Structure 1
Amino acid sequence: METSIVQKYNVPGPRYTSYPTVPYWDNNGFSTLNWQQTFLKAFAESNLPGGISLYIHLPFCESMCTFCGCNKRVTRRHEVETAYITAVLTEWAMYCDLLPQHPLIKELHLGGGTPTFFSPENLEVLINGIFDRAVKAPGYEFSFEGHPNNTTRAHLQKLYDIGFRRVSFGVQDYNEKVQKSINRVQSFHNVAKVTFWAKEIGYTSISHDLVFGLPFQTLESIIDTIEKTKSLNPDRLAFYSYAHVPWIKGSGQRGFNENDLPQDNKKRMLYEVGKKILAEKGFKEIGMDHFALETDSMYDAYKDGKLHRNFMGYSASKTQLMIGLGVSSISDSWYSFAQNEKTLEEYYNRIENNELPVFRGHLLNEEDLIIRKHILNLMCRFKTSWTVNEEYFNELPDVLIDLKEMEKDGLLELKKNSITVTEEGKPFVRNICMAFDLRLKRKAPDTKLFSMTI
């Protein structure tokens, strides 16, 4: 890949877990009452046909990883677990009180932070509390993020016993120098141990999260990391680009010199070499930065055109309504987004006052809904089309003009009523989506908002 192409398209851009992206939400036109109305509309349309999704944010970590951009609270005081679980279950009760019947839970994901900061017993209390007022949908999928250093066999067994079959372990990189620079030191032995425990217990989908573009990473360290990863034979892989956003995350992402980060073509080469090795080892590329073996349900979803993307990342099944519980969580009714308070103190305060802890959101207009479909198609299937009026929007001709340069560079194929991303264009899918992002085009940010696309 030519350096000029990488440098040409390596610009700040969203990751498109939503459209509109959070910085472009119209908070002035949003209210908690609006959110409740669209929440109930989505529930009526989605609960009985297939169920809803539930994301629970567990923010506590025992130490700060300096590559991390998530909302977290660093502490070693495990007595915080009980109060937090109580608050989350209170929030859940508020939602259930709005509903005419028990919800069917199709997908449930525990994210963080570090979900395995919580004891197995407390995680069981949390999940059982959820299902005091909910029912597991047919074919449900429960998943959680596990830290290899503190995930015990008891964690894995307890969560398996209450329905979890998918686990994702954060690996990042096995090189000791890289690990020390991001304050995430964990041995290959620890990752192997939890992976084999999960296999023995019966988990049907085990994922490892890798990151490229970290400080001090080299081709040698990426190759070594992927070779070690393949030896453990996970079912899925996320191979993320490191998002360097210290202007958002403050000191957390300034634990190293920015000159230590691989840039532009050097960074992209880490991905291209890694991707090539993964392909040789049987991993298929599905969506942006994700790979799966042909035996995994995520690959089936991609192959069948059913892959979905939301604030939890990629999903093998689409649910219209996703409720986010816990501090900073984001909910999605398809018609609107709603985000919870971002600090624990404010979150607890709202819960204690018997209020849904939503502090901002966005109601999608007709144009937003059309653009959202196109961006989801590109992110999940690497193609989109406009063969019916419901897929057309007034500024589409201008979007196609903007995409001509990318077509000339071989990143996509333009036809009369469709776009297909080429193999060469897959690393630039965020850039292609940006051509559809009318809100971004109409008001370019005057401060730093997004990480670099490459």
Structure 2
Amino acid sequence: MDYRLVEKYNVAVPRYTSYPAVPLWDSTDLNPERWMNQVVEAFEKDREISLYIHLPYCESLCTYCGCNKHITKNHLVEQPYVQAVLKEWRMYTSRFPEKAILREIHLGGGTPTFFSPENLRVLIEGILAEAEVADFHSFSFEAHPFSTSDEHLETLFNLGFNRLSLGIQDFDPKILSLINRFQTAEQVEHIVSKAREIGYESINFDLIYGLPQQTEGNIRTNLKWVESLKPDRIAFYSYAHVPGVAPSQRAYDESDLPLGEAKWNLYRLGADGFLKMGYQEIGMDHFALPQDDLAKSARAHKLHRNFMGYTPHHTHLALALGASSISDVWSAFAQNEKKLKDYLHRVNTEDYPPLIKTHYHSDEDLKTRAKLLNLICHFEGEWLDERDYFDDFLKSRFRLLEEDGLLKVFPYQVKVTRKGRAFIRNVCSVLDRKLSAGELQKPTFSKAV
């Protein structure tokens, strides 16, 4: 690829985990009763739900991380947090006319394996006591190689978990030290082996390109480990340097980072390596072996994307519990209190989930959201039944991308080219009428590459 394209399109754009992007929500109506009514309405359409649980604690601070987390070595915090999450869960289930059917559970963080196996058992048993489990379900958790024990793997497997995601980022001890993350390749190797022995169906590796002092040699080493351990899925994320949002990133400056063409070469080397090993490219940043459910759903044109990432399952209701987590009822979003102390106080003293932000979709929002999902999941969009949506403004903007070979424009359809897949965030931004030119200049969003 001509690197001039990378320079042209490497601008700040949302990652489109939602539409509108969270900073662009209209949060003027923070009415908890209205939100609960929307939840029940979504539940009545379909009892099958997805559930995300945010577990924010970490023992040490990984300086690259922009997630909501709380650093402590005091494990006495575990039980009060588990009880708060279960109380929040009951706020929802008490409104349901019958038991929910859990299609997905994902434990995210923070570091879910900060919690002891026993406390995770209490949490999940408390969740399951209020629900049924779908025959075909996907229960997953994020695992830190340093803190994940055999007992964690066995306890969660016995509770129905069948997937895990290992936060590796890079295998080089020097780079891990720079980002204050401590684990070994041997620990990763052991967890993969033990998880497969126990019976886990799918293992994901989280890897990052663009980390401080990362070189093409590091990417080649990571590829060797991937080839050896053969995870079922890979999430290959761009390091987003946003120290204004994540102050811990000030531990190093831009002189330590591979930027511009150097960073692009890291991406191409990694992505090409995964494809040569037989992985299938899934939407943005993700790769999966052909036999994995994610790859199967992509081929069947059933892939979906929510706040938990790409998934084979699309439920009308995706509830999120815990500090900072975001729920989705398709027609609206709601985010919980971000500050841990405030989250705990509000759950224990109020009768509603501790919301700080909501967004209720207009008809135009819903149309755009559906179009964006098709683009970011299937690399195409179609407007045959909504010709008024595909107006001259959109056509002219898509034509500019077509001139650069990023997509093909048809009368009522666009298809992203192979070249354009690397710029899918830019393609999606064409539909984003809420994203003004001024927003692109703010440090709110990371750059596309």
Give the TM-score normalised by structure 1.
Answer: 0.97
Q: Does the alignment pair 1:322 with 2:321? A: no
Aligned positions of 1:311-350 closer than 5 A:
311-350=307-346
Assess if the C-alpha contact under 8 Å between 2:13 and 2:440 holds in 1: no
Match of 2:366 among 359, 362, 369: 369
Root-mean-square deviation (CA), in Å? 1.2
1:131-172 per-position Cα deviation (integer Å, ceiling 9, x unaligned): 111110221110000000110000000100010000000111
Aligned positions of 1:51-62 closer than 5 A:
51-62=48-59
Map of 1:263 onto structure 2: 259
* Shift in Å, 1:395: 6.5
1:374-396 per-position Cα deviation (integer Å, ceiling 9, x unaligned): 1100110011101113xx55463
Q: Does the alignment pair 1:165 with 2:162? A: yes
Letter of the aligned partner of 1:115 in structure 2?
P
Greater mean deviation of Cα atoms: 79-88 or 266-275: 266-275
Assess if the C-alpha contact under 8 Å between 1:13 and 1:430 holds in 2: yes
* Shift in Å, 1:268: 1.1
Letter of the aligned partner of 1:440 in structure 2?
L
Q: Does the alignment pair 1:379 with 2:376? A: yes
Assess if the C-alpha contact under 8 Å between 1:370 and 1:393 holds in 2: no
Map of 1:41 onto structure 2: 41
Q: Does the alignment pair 1:401 with 2:396? A: yes
Flag the 1:445–1:361 CA change in 2: closer, same or farther, 3 A: farther
1:238-276 per-position Cα deviation (integer Å, ceiling 9, x unaligned): 1111111111122x1111121111112211111111111
Map of 1:147 onto structure 2: 144
Q: Does the alignment pair 1:305 with 2:314? A: no
Q: How many Å separate the matches in 1 of 2:389 and 2:152? A: 52
Greater mean deviation of Cα atoms: 397-406 or 325-334: 397-406
Assess if the C-alpha contact under 8 Å between 1:30 and 1:363 holds in 2: no
Deviation beyond 2 Å, 4+ runs, structure 1: 392-397, 441-447
Q: How many Å separate the matches in 2 of 1:352 and 1:118? A: 21
* Shift in Å, 1:444: 3.1
Map of 1:412 onto structure 2: 407
Q: Does the alignment pair 1:64 with 2:61? A: yes
Q: Does the alignment pair 1:191 with 2:175? A: no
Letter of the aligned partner of 1:28 in structure 2?
T
Map of 2:113 onto structure 1: 116
Give the TM-score normalised by structure 2.
Answer: 0.98
Could you say what secondary structure the match of 2:28 adopts?
Answer: helix
Letter of the aligned partner of 1:397 in structure 2?
D
Map of 1:14 onto structure 2: 14
Q: How many Å separate the matches in 1 of 2:388 and 2:367? A: 7
Map of 1:92 onto structure 2: 89
Match of 2:78 among 69, 76, 81: 81
Match of 1:225 among 218, 222, 227: 222
Q: How many Å separate the matches in 1 of 2:421 and 2:182? A: 32
1:204-233 per-position Cα deviation (integer Å, ceiling 9, x unaligned): 001101000111111111011111122011
Letter of the aligned partner of 1:408 in structure 2?
E
Match of 2:283 among 281, 287, 301: 287
Assess if the C-alpha contact under 8 Å between 2:12 and 2:441 holds in 1: no
Q: Does the alignment pair 1:235 with 2:240? A: no
Q: Does the alignment pair 1:440 with 2:435? A: yes
* Shift in Å, 1:185: 2.6
Size of the alignment, in residue pairs? 448
Letter of the aligned partner of 1:296 in structure 2?
D
Q: Which runs of 5+ in 1 are unaligned?
A: none
Assess if the C-alpha contact under 8 Å between 1:165 and 1:203 holds in 2: yes
Q: How many Å separate the matches in 2 of 1:278 and 1:359? A: 40
* Shift in Å, 1:342: 0.2
* Shift in Å, 1:28: 0.6
Letter of the aligned partner of 1:444 in structure 2?
E
Q: How many Å separate the matches in 2 of 1:341 and 1:377? A: 31
Could you say what secondary structure the match of 1:268 adopts?
Answer: helix
Assess if the C-alpha contact under 8 Å between 2:383 and 2:389 holds in 1: no
Q: Does the alignment pair 1:278 with 2:274? A: yes
Match of 2:420 among 416, 420, 425: 425
Q: How many Å separate the matches in 2 of 1:444 and 1:318? A: 30
Greater mean deviation of Cα atoms: 430-439 or 393-402: 393-402
Q: Which runs of 5+ in 2 are unaligned?
A: none
* Shift in Å, 1:446: 6.0
Could you say what secondary structure the match of 2:141 adopts?
Answer: strand
Identity of aligned residues (%): 45
